């Protein structure tokens, strides 16, 4: 790993964390919710590809932790998406 790769990965991690914090603040913003969900999918695909496709990372606790966080977060956000949909429908009924 050279300095450029380390800085790029650092900026990517910072950007993902900012998006996730903004979603936590405004959880009802559907666009932000989907964007946050996409960041978790992107992280999961990235770490899985490093382990199983490129073989540049070993399946150690340092790699397992982000895989578990991304997996559980995706599951939680997909469950939460159902509630977001129900809330949107109930708000539409109140308007009519």
pLDDT tens track for 22-54: 999 999 999 999 999 999 999 999 999 999 999
CA atoms in the 13 A half-sphere facing the CB of 30:
9
- Give the model confidence (pLDDT) of 55-92 as tens digits: 999 999 999 999 999 999 999 999 999 998 888 778 77
pLDDT tier at 21, thresholds 50, 70, 90: very high
Alpha helices in the chain (DSSP H): 3-25, 30-52, 61-95
Q: Counting beta carbons within 10 angstroms of the beta carbon of residue 48, is it exposed (0 to 12), middle (13 to 18) or buried (19 or more)?
A: middle
């Amino acid at each position: 790993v050279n300095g450029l790769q380390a800085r790029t990965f650092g900026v990517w991690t910072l950007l993902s964390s900012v998006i996730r914090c903004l979603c936590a603040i405004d959880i009802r913003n559907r666009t932000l919710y989907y964007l946050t969900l996409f960041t978790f999918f992107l992280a999961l695909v990235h770490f899985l590809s490093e382990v199983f496709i490129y073989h540049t990372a070993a399946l150690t606790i340092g790699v397992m932790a982000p895989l578990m966080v991304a997996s559980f977060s995706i599951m939680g956000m997909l469950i939460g998406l159902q509630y977001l949909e129900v809330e949107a429908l109930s708000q539409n009924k109140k308007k009519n």
